[in-house]
Amino acid sequence: MILGLCLLIPVVAALLIAACHRRPNLREAVSLASAAALFLAVLSLSGAVLQGARPALTLGEILPGLMIALRLEPLGLLFALIASGLWFVSGVYSSGYMRGNRETQQTRFYVCFALAIASAIGVALAGNLLTLYLFYEALTFVTYPLVTHHGDEQARRGGRTYLGLLLLSSMLFLLPAMAITWWIGGTLDFTPGGILGGKVSGAAAAGLLALYAFGIGKAALMPLHRWLPAAMVAPTPVSALLHAVAVVKAGVFTVVKVVVYVFGLEFTPDAFAWLPWVAGFTIVAASVIALRSDNLKRRLAYSTVSQLSYVVLAAALLTPLSMIGAVLHIGAHSVGKITLFFAAGAIYTAAHKTEVSQLDGIGRRMPLTMGAFTLGALSLIGIPPCVGFLSKWYIVQGAFAAQSYFAIAVILVSTLLNAAYFMPIVYAAFFRAPAGQPHGEAPLPIMLALAATAAGTVLLFFAPALPLALARAVAAL
- Is the pLDDT at 437 greater than 80? The verdict is no
Query: Within this chain, do residues 246 and 278 fall inside the same structural domain, yes or no?
Result: no
- Determine the structural domain holding residue 163 and report its residue range: 1-262
pLDDT for 263 beyond 80: yes
Which ranges constitute the DSSP H helices of 271-404?
A: 275-291, 296-316, 320-351, 362-365, 367-381, 388-401
Residues 311 and 162 in one domain: no
Q: Are residues 340 and 230 in the same domain?
A: no
- The 10s digit of each residue's pLDDT in 112-137 is 999 999 999 999 999 999 999 999 99
Is the pLDDT assigned to residue 239 strictly greater than 80? no
| Whether the predicted pLDDT of 245 surpasses 80 | no
Which region among 230-234, 303-307, 362-366 has the lowest average model confidence (pLDDT)? 230-234
Q: Tell me the average pLDDT across 408-413.
A: 95
Confidence at residue 186, expressed as pLDDT on a 0 to 100 scale: 87
The per-residue pLDDT for 100 is 77
Residue pair 454/372 in contact by the 8 Å Cβ criterion? yes
Mean pLDDT on 332-354: 91
Of 207, 236, 262, the one marking the end of a domain is: 262
How confident is the model at residue 104, as a pLDDT?
Answer: 79
Confidence of residue 269 (pLDDT cuts 50, 70, 90): confident
267 in a domain, yes or no? no
- Crossing angle of helices 367-381/405-431, nearest 10°? 170
How much of the chain, in percent, has pLDDT values that exceed 90?
70
Question: Looking at residue 265, what is its pLDDT?
Answer: 87
pLDDT above 70: residue 316: yes
Residues 221 and 318 in one domain: no
Domain boundary residue, one of 262, 293, 311:
262
Helical H runs in 173-235? 175-185, 202-215, 227-230
Band the pLDDT of 220: cuts 50, 70, 90: confident
For the stretch 46-87, pLDDT in tens is: 999 999 999 999 988 887 778 899 999 999 999 999 999 999
Structure confidence at residue 243 (pLDDT): 67
Closest CA to 217 of 144, 290, 126, 137: 137
Q: Within a domain: residue 438?
A: yes
In this prediction, residues 235-261 reach a mean pLDDT of: 85
CA–CA gap between residue 76 and residue 456 (Å, rounded): 20
Q: What is the pTM of this model?
A: 0.92
Average pLDDT over the chain reads 91
Q: Are residues 80 and 229 in the same domain?
A: yes
Q: Are residues 255 and 305 in the same domain?
A: no
268 lies in some domain = no
Chain segment 99-114, per-residue pLDDT in tens:
877 777 888 889 999 9
- Does any domain span residue 444? yes
Supply the DSSP string of 262-290, one letter for each residue.
II-TTS-GGGGTTHHHHHHHHHHHHHHHH
Query: How many domains is the chain built from?
Result: 2
286 part of a folded domain: yes
Q: Is the pLDDT of residue 477 over 80?
A: no
Is 77 within 8 Å of 3 (Cβ atoms)? no
